[in-house]
Amino acid sequence: MAGLDHLRGQLTTERPTKHRALALSWPLLCLLAAGAGCGDRASATARPADPAPADSAVRLPTHIDSILPIEQEIRRFRATLDHEPTVLGKAAARTRDELIRRYIQALEQSDTAAAAALMISRAEFGTLYYEHTRYTRPPYRMSPALLWFFTVQNSEKGLTRALATYGGSGIRLAGYTCEAAPLIEGPNRIWQDCPLRLARRDGAILEIRLFAGILERGGRFKFVSLANDF
């Protein structure tokens, strides 16, 4: 559970002050969503039925109406950030191979903090990623606060289950593939659909998706989401 607190600290602007249960509490989800509409718990947490595009691997509604212009939504979200980075942070990898290798190593070593640091932060999401995505326009339009809410929710579930499955298991990366060409969104390149081949101690090879898209920006790489096949 201490490792899960590290994950929450990486993905939010506040670091929890004490250990909590594995299940995400409702107040914490409201904090992560940063104003995504926490007044109606049932509607905010319901798992949407339609799958999102492959770059997020998060299940989202296919259409969200908003009375606010998207530019205002972005300004409001950025006003809640403690800083506005212009590049991906120090934890970003220099290559796609390095990013994936570090992630598998963190999982095998049960190092939640190291694994979580490889995903884009809230500030990176708000300043480098969101405004270039399809979620700023119909039919996938969604406010940055709500999209971040779902991204964190699914990432925490995915990472928790990946750690429970592979922590201390002795797995190693045997290879991986991604789609041949990335999705181009402004200055961002999103590498999608990247199944991994993991070798177990007994020599068996597993194929599984352990993260969603990879963001490439300015020659640096981070995961868009840690949602996965679990």
What mean pLDDT, rounded, does the chain reach? 81
pTM of the model: 0.76
Contact present, 215 and 151 (Cβ < 8 Å): no
Domain ranges of the chain: 2-9+54-223
Report the distance separating Cα 23 and Cα 8, nearest Å: 12
pLDDT at 25 over 50: no
Q: Which residue has the higher pLDDT, 107 or 26?
A: 107
Report the distance separating Cα 96 and Cα 116, nearest Å: 16
Report the distance separating Cα 149 and Cα 146, nearest Å: 5
What local confidence, expressed as pLDDT, does residue 67 receive? 72
Q: Mind listing the pLDDT tens digit for each residue in 143-180?
A: 999 999 999 999 999 999 999 999 999 999 999 999 99
Q: Which residue has the higher pLDDT, 63 or 184?
A: 184
What local confidence, expressed as pLDDT, does residue 4 receive? 54
Residue 5 pLDDT grade (very low, low, confident, very high; cuts 50, 70, 90)? low
Report the distance separating Cα 83 and Cα 81, nearest Å: 5
